[in-house]
């Protein structure tokens, strides 16, 4: 019975509870049983709260997801009195706990989700593999020698291994989409301002970070975003509300969309992966067969090599600010034993970013973003595009260790080719599990929509979920357990 329950998506689980066919306690117990079976292998949940979750499941729950088990990433979505270590050794060593719930956590709870634990993340979420020194690597349920992606790798592994149907995730350069790609999941990065970061933050990384989730179905992704999106008092900006709930876009004919295809890297330091090209060819063929207007085309501004360096300076400045904040909290300097080498370097780079540098980079990036977005919404009267299709990552999930250690940054630059640009522009983008490598590893395909058009992405994703179904594919860790 437990395996039958954990194989269901959140929509199905919620319906069983609503119809009184199962209880929230049964759902939560099934999730915990699966976690106890596989978490020792994948190292996804680092702060289990199993007994608390069982007690909460037996309380008077309400909301559209009453009783459905959920994991929260240990970065953002803070919970009052619960560990919040952000992948760092120093917060782990200090036994740091969050002082209050984030607005996002409050929304998850109001929707009826039962939180069974918090998941592994790289230090400060600053890379795209989940291998922190603080808690060790999370491992991919499709092949445990490979990365889960990052920075939401623990959440993605939890969903792919059927512990929970929904995992909280957030994305500053690809950290929802890349773990979704590597773990065979649906991962939608919402538009800038769609989900509040309050009350502790208004924005970070110049507005490039946003919260969302990873799931196994498009309908779960749409339904979860419906319950977590929206303005909270004091937010510095917010995305315009949807015309109707996103779940109402499921199965709606998207019409004949004008779609651009980008199947290759734009810079010589990026990997030109044959299997990534094949994933886009197959997707383009399907899109054409569905009646869409498909072209080999992309925004020319993406080929400007200066954007990456300027974004790095922005992230470095924020890293310095974050480290300085915790130094003030603990009354000491943080050094080699506290921070990993990459973040020590980022912190030092951030020290050297002056106010003038930050503002000049910000102004340059704002202008660059306008030139990128113009491809979707041209200002000169020419016809724009509805969707850009790219690989999510240049290649299949890399082996554990390839993106960590001395060569990690160089190797990261080879495969991180398609996602961070749309954190800067603030556009919605979704990774769908439409391709598997010759060795059986998931490889996501990314779809980037016009600003604030999650509705179009959900319609198209729903159409592709039917045309290129993935529901029958289950990670070997699940199938063999």
What pLDDT was estimated at residue 380?
A: 73
Give Cα separations from 1 to 26, 27, 456 (angstroms). Answer: 9, 10, 37
Report d(CA 361, CA 121) in Å as an integer. Answer: 28
Query: What is the SS3 assignment for 82-98?
Result: CECCCCCHHHHHCCCEE
What pLDDT was estimated at residue 381?
A: 73
**Confidence grade of residue 407 (pLDDT, cut at 50, 70, 90):** confident
Catalytic residue flag (residue 197): no
**Confidence grade of residue 481 (pLDDT, cut at 50, 70, 90):** confident
Average pLDDT over residues 280-298: 98
Average pLDDT over residues 159-176: 98
Instruction: Assess contact for 212 and 244: CB atoms under 8 A.
Output: no
Q: Which of the residues 78, 102, 151, 437 is marked catalytic? A: 151
Average pLDDT over residues 360-378: 96
Helix boundaries (H) for 206-305: 218-228, 274-289
Catalytic residue flag (residue 73): yes
Q: Is the dihedral of CA 189, 193, 196, 199 positive or negative?
A: positive
Token digits of residue 14 = 């919620």
Catalytic residue flag (residue 102): no
- pLDDT of 99 > 70? The answer is yes
Q: Which of the residues 37, 73, 92, 189 is marked catalytic? A: 73
Average pLDDT over residues 445-463: 99
What pLDDT was estimated at residue 379?
A: 73
Closest CA to 455 of 377, 392, 387: 387
Token digits of residue 78 = 């803070």
* CATH architecture type of domain 2-479: Alpha-Beta Complex (3.90)
- pLDDT of 1 > 70? The answer is no
What pLDDT was estimated at residue 279?
A: 98
Instruction: Please write the tens of the pLDDT for every residue from 21-67.
Output: 999 999 999 999 999 999 999 999 999 999 999 999 999 999 999 99
Report d(CA 335, CA 343) in Å as an integer. Answer: 10
Q: Which of the residues 78, 134, 161, 175 is marked catalytic? A: 175
Instruction: Please write the tens of the pLDDT for every residue from 202-257.
Output: 999 999 999 999 999 999 999 999 999 999 999 999 999 999 999 999 999 999 99
CA distance from start to end of the chain: 14
What pLDDT was estimated at residue 361?
A: 98
Does the pTM of the predicted model rise above 0.95?
Answer: yes
Token digits of residue 70 = 């959920």
- Helix pair 10-18, 218-228: axis angle to 10 deg: 70
Instruction: Please write the tens of the pLDDT for every residue from 326-362.
Output: 999 999 999 999 999 999 999 999 999 999 999 999 9
Percent of the chain with pLDDT over 90: 96
Report d(CA 462, CA 394) in Å as an integer. Answer: 24
**E strands in 216-373:** 258-261, 293-296
């Amino acid at each position: 019975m437990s395996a039958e329950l954990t194989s269901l998506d959140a929509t199905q689980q919620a319906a069983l509870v609503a119809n009184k066919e199962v209880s929230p306690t049964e759902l939560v117990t099934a999730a915990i049983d699966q976690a106890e079976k596989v978490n020792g292998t994948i190292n996804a949940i680092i702060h289990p709260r199993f007994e608390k979750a069982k007690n909460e499941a037996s309380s008077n729950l309400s909301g559209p997801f009453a009783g459905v088990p959920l994991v929260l990433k240990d970065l953002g979505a803070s919970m009052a009195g619960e560990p919040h270590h952000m992948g760092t050794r120093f917060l782990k060593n200090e036994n740091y706990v969050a002082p209050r719930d984030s607005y996002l956590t409050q929304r998850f709870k109001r929707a009826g989700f039962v939180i069974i634990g918090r998941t592994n993340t790289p230090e400060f979420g600053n890379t795209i593999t989940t291998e922190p020194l603080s808690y060790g690597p999370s491992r991919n349920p499709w092949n445990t020698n490979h990365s889960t992606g990052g920075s939401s790798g623990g959440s993605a592994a939890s969903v792919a291994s059927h512990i929970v149907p929904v995992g909280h995730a957030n994305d500053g350069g690809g950290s929802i989409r890349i773990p979704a790609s590597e773990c065979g999941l649906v991962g939608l990065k919402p538009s800038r301002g769609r989900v509040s970061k309050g009350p502790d933050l208004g924005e970070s990384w110049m507005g490039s970070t946003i919260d969302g989730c990873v799931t196994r179905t498009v309908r779960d992704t749409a339904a979860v975003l419906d319950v977590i999106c929206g303005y909270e008092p004091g937010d510095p900006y917010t995305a315009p509300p949807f015309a109707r709930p996103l779940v109402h876009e499921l199965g709606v004919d998207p019409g004949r969309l004008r779609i651009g295809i980008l199947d290759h890297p734009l810079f010589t330091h990026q990997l030109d992966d044959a299997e990534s090209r094949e994933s886009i060819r197959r997707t383009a063929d399907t899109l054409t067969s569905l009646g869409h207007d498909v072209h080999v085309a992309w925004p020319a501004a993406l080929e400007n090599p200066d954007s990456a360096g300027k974004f790095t300076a922005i992230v470095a400045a924020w890293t310095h600010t974050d480290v300085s904040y915790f130094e003030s909290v603990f009354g000491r300097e943080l050094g080699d034993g506290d921070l990993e080498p990459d973040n020590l370097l980022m912190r030092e780079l951030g020290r050297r970013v002056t106010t003038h540098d930050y503002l000049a980079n910000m102004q340059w990036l704002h202008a660059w973003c306008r030139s990128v977005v113009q491809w979707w919404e041209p200002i000169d009267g020419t016809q724009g595009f509805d969707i850009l299709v790219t690989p999510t990552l240049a290649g299949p999930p890399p082996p554990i260790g390839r993106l960590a250690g001395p060569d990690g940054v160089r190797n990261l630059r080879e495969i991180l080719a398609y996602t961070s640009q749309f954190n800067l522009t603030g556009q919605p983008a979704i990774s769908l599990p439409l391709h598997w490598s010759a060795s059986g590893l998931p490889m996501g395909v990314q779809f980037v929509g016009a600003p604030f058009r999650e509705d179009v992405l959900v319609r198209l994703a729903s159409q592709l979920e039917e045309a290129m179904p993935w529901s029958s594919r289950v990670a070997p860790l699940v199938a063999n357990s």
